[in-house]
Amino acid sequence: MAGRMEGKVSFITGAGRGQGRAHAVKQASEGADIIAVDICEDIPSVPYPMSSWEDLQETKALVEKTGRRCVAVKADVRIREQLKAAADEGVAELGTITTVCANAGVLPLAMGDPQPLDFQDAVDVDLIGVMNTVAVTVPHLLPHGRGASIIITGSTAAQQPHSFASEPRQIMGSGGSGYGWAKMLIIPYVEHMAMHLAPHGVRVNGVHPTNCDTHLMHNQGIYSVFRPDLETFNVAKEDFAVAARHYHAIPEAWIAPEEVADLVLYLASDESRAVTAENIRIDLGVVVKGLPSR
Ligand SMILES: NC(=O)c1ccc[n+]([C@@H]2O[C@H](COP(=O)([O-])OP(=O)(O)OC[C@H]3O[C@@H](n4cnc5c(N)ncnc54)[C@H](O)[C@@H]3O)[C@@H](O)[C@H]2O)c1
């Protein structure tokens, strides 16, 4: 039986681990070839490590295990020339790009000495990096019309009354604020690009996860935000999980990367051919839980 991504080639940023790896493996298991892109080096203002080259190679091996092809390229989404080179290298080997997952992201929570320009670092990756990804891939997508799909990863962190955009606590610093601001702007960006690309048939949608079981969440910055009652930067995983379960309407602490990948697979496949300009939360009900009752 044909897979749901048969004949497609997916360009995925932040593919070295976490949600990006889950997208790569899920889409490959449904028949897609994958261009897997990651920075593979650390960013000084981000207090947890980025993926390594070995991580990206592991993603490639997992894709190849499904029987599909994978071109793995080290590139920084902040640098459009690097992304263009990655797209060109992938196309030279795999033939085309039909699908884009603009997934790479960082949350530079201040865990040491917060710097005003941490804001810029977050925006450069989480907003400009997304725009660069779309810019270099759209020329490849246009010939595919309605077979083409762009999926952009935002965050429910930007959709709550006390979001990272307005978080006053020192721990969030300007990096947390930049994250919230960038992720907030993903919503209208998705709508604008969906309208601009609609005449060509290309679809653009956003997915907005809550806490997801990856490095971006499992670090003392996030743990301390959730447990201001405990000693900052010394919070146990289970103490974080207790608060995270209470935070969601469905009382679970986090979602799995594979759950986000299921939603992204739907948006990437032709099953969603009529779906565009949507911003879809995958959030255990957290945003609605936090709204004033209607
Ligand atoms: N984990 C969560 O709780 C959560 C919640 C909501 C939204 N998100 C979003 O989900 C997306 C995926 O993150 P994740 O949860 O898998 O975290 P993660 O840290 O495990 O993965 C992010 C990946 O992006 C890569 N990356 C970072 N900066 C890059 C750059 N400049 N160029 C290329 N690659 C870069 C990293 O090396 C890493 O492999 C991000 O956009 C993130 O903001 C995560």
Residue-wise pLDDT for 173-223, tens only, equals: 889 889 999 999 999 999 999 999 999 999 999 999 999 999 999 999 999
> How remote is the CA of residue 155 from the centroid of ligand 1, in Å?
11
**Hey, which residues are catalytic here?**
179
Distance CA 92, CA 87 (A): 9
Q: Please write the tens of the pLDDT for every residue from 111-133.
A: 777 788 899 999 999 999 999 99
pLDDT of residue 168: 52
Tell me, using a 6 A CB cutoff, whether residue 20 lines ligand 1.
yes
Q: 16 CB less than 6 Å from ligand 1?
A: yes
- Tens of pLDDT, residue by residue over 231-268, are 989 999 999 999 999 999 999 999 999 999 999 999 99
Check pocket membership of 176 for ligand 1, CB cut-off 6 A.
no
Q: How far is the CA of 104 from the centre of ligand 1 (A)?
A: 5
* Closest approach atom of ligand 1 to CA 40: 37
Mutate to test the pocket of ligand 1, among 212, 225, 252 (most ligand atoms within 8 A of CB): 212
199 Cα–ligand 1 center, Å: 31
Atom of ligand 1 nearest to the CA of 14: 24
